[in-house]
Chain A
């Protein structure tokens, strides 16, 4: 019964995220588009929860929906584009864009038939990881933390350098040039 509820929740989230993504790329008003992208991010966070990625769901809501999207809205309001709604939404080449997007979807659809199963991928740690997850009270958040501060500690620190470089770059780019 709970499996059925979870499946129903998954298919609702899937349908809602596809619908909000379509609305986001087709609305004329940029602020409406942003709000539909917000709906998309929250539904994807729900799918992450159903896939047992609790920490990823939290990061999705806090960082994506909370920080990045608010940043986009901030810049949109800052630029103040009054004539935007009167302009055409799509370039003249939009049928080509539809064809390209459908081509991407077809490639991804074909690629999933080539996907190895767990046994074929030869992951010896697969079952061990499952048992560890079941025995640990915190579940996957603890596993993610162990990975992040164990084998992935160096990439984790590099990510902070990437963010620092982005902060400095954004300030340098957006700064008003002063004549000295």
Chain B
């Protein structure tokens, strides 16, 4: 392995933290979902690093399933955004306060 597995995991952790920050801080709902994709990609990176470290292809299989579920999540999430945009134009979550007590 060209670099220690800890370096790959550290990179994965940094990318996950950036994605978590984007999800928590952004107000645009599309960019919030894209931040989820960044987090999923960080997890895939750690799975590939473990797969290389343990010499076991099952880590890559798990990453492939993560990609499949991410594709499904993107389809349903964007369908929800289109339905939401039809009822209330705009993509800011700050406008969606009808259920606020």
Contact = CB atoms under 8 A, between A and B. Distances in A.
A10 B2 contact: yes
Given A18-B11, A123-B56, A173 B83 contact: yes
Given A75-B78, A174-B83, A126 B14 contact: no
B43 to A, nearest CB: 11
A91 B44 contact: no
Nearest to A15: B11
A174 B68 contact: no
Contacts of A129: 55-57
Contact of B68 (A24, A163, A176): A163
28 contacts: A25-B21, A25-B25, A37-B34, A40-B15, A53-B60, A63-B71, A71-B75, A71-B78, A79-B85, A90-B26, A91-B27, A100-B21, A102-B17, A104-B17, A108-B13, A109-B13, A115-B6, A115-B9, A123-B54, A126-B54, A126-B55, A130-B55, A163-B68, A163-B72, A166-B71, A169-B79, A173-B82, A174-B83
Nearest to B80: A173
A74 B15 CA distance: 25
A127 B56 CA distance: 9
Interface of A: 3, 6-7, 10-11, 14, 17-18, 21-22, 24-25, 30, 33-34, 37, 40-41, 44, 47-48, 50-53, 55-56, 59-60, 63-64, 67-68, 71-72, 75-76, 78-79, 81, 83-84, 87-91, 93-94, 96-98, 100-102, 104-105, 108-109, 112, 115, 118, 121, 123, 125-127, 129-130, 133, 140, 143-144, 146-148, 152, 155, 159, 162-163, 165-167, 169-174, 176
A44 B18 CA distance: 15
Contacts of B54: 118, 121, 123, 126
B16 A170 contact: no
Given A104-B16, A159-B65, A41 B41 contact: yes
Contacts of A97: 20-21, 24-25
Most buried by A among B25, B31, B37, B91: B25
Given A53-B48, A101-B18, A25 B35 contact: yes
B56 A100 contact: no
Nearest to B52: A51
Nearest to A152: B61
A55 to B, nearest CB: 7
A7 to B, nearest CB: 5
A116 B33 CA distance: 33
A17 B71 contact: no
